[in-house]
């Protein structure tokens, strides 16, 4: 452990190191706050936020139809890749989170598929942060009536600046959790019946990705705020 310096430069370096050490744990801190929600039922009264878009069409004005649920097309569901690069995995996960197809599978099938992307380590996983990005069952039904679907396209992914500086200052700080903060930017294209071109909106998010040396990367959760 480094000795405390009595000169101003040394004190400044110690203070900076402490701040960077805190930044290195930004993923854990953010997830710790979100984990409080796990003590409540993730399917409780609060409605998960849908993929928001100004291009989303209004609910159909026609009388409600008892249309059967779509035949599950498991090939259309997002399947996690096996890779050991946290940035590459973060980009793949973001594309999966920004994509859906109400014509091909149910809301529950999508939730189940996304859980397959997540780490099995209960101490670090935050499934609620991912579930909040999936439209609620009621909204999903309205979207399915319109044949709504979306495709996420990733433009770029990187470690946030504060996270990179922290790793450079203390590379060993991450060896307990192997959690990496990854910020991904891109766009989400949405289409529906009568409007195959639809519209597109920019997307940016920061993910917590776990990449242990002995196993492929997994998703730990989605941070509540974007880290540049």
Mention the CATH class of domain 9-40+78-222: alpha beta
- Stated as kind and residue range, the H or E segment containing 131 is helix 127-131
Q: What is the pLDDT of residues 67-83, one digit of tens each?
A: 445 566 678 999 999 99
CA distance 57 to 191: 9
pLDDT for res 185: 98
Q: pTM for the whole thing?
A: 0.72
Q: What is the pLDDT of residues 128-150, one digit of tens each?
A: 999 999 999 999 999 999 999 99
Give the residue extent of every domain in the chain.
9-40+78-222
Q: What is the pLDDT of residues 167-189, one digit of tens each?
A: 888 888 899 999 999 999 999 99
pLDDT over 70 (residue 65):
no
Residue 128, judged by CB atoms within 10 A of its CB (0-12, 13-18, 19+), counts as buried
Over residues 8-33, mean pLDDT: 44
């Amino acid at each position: 452990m480094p000795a405390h310096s009595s000169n101003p430069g040394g004190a400044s370096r110690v203070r900076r190191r402490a701040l960077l050490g805190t930044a290195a744990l930004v993923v854990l801190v953010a997830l710790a706050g979100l984990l409080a929600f796990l003590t409540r039922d993730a399917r409780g009264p609060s409605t998960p936020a849908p993929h928001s878009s100004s291009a989303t069409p209004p609910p159909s004005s026609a009388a409600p139809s008892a249309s059967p649920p779509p035949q599950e097309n498991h090939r259309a569901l997002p399947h996690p890749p096996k890779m050991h690069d946290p940035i590459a995995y973060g980009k793949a996960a973001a594309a999966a989170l920004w994509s859906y197809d109400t014509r091909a599978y149910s809301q529950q099938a999508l939730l189940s598929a996304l859980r397959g992307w997540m780490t099995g380590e209960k101490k670090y996983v935050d499934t609620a942060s991912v579930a909040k990005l999936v439209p609620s069952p009621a909204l999903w039904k309205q979207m399915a009536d319109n044949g709504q679907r979306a495709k996420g396209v990733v433009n770029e992914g990187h470690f946030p600046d504060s996270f990179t500086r922290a790793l450079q200052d203390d590379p060993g700080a991450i060896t307990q959790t192997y959690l990496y903060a990854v910020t991904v930017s891109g766009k989400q294209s949405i289409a529906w019946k009568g409007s195959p071109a639809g519209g597109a909106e920019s997307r940016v998010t920061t993910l917590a990705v776990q990449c242990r040396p002995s196993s492929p990367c997994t998703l730990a959760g989605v941070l509540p705020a974007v880290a540049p």
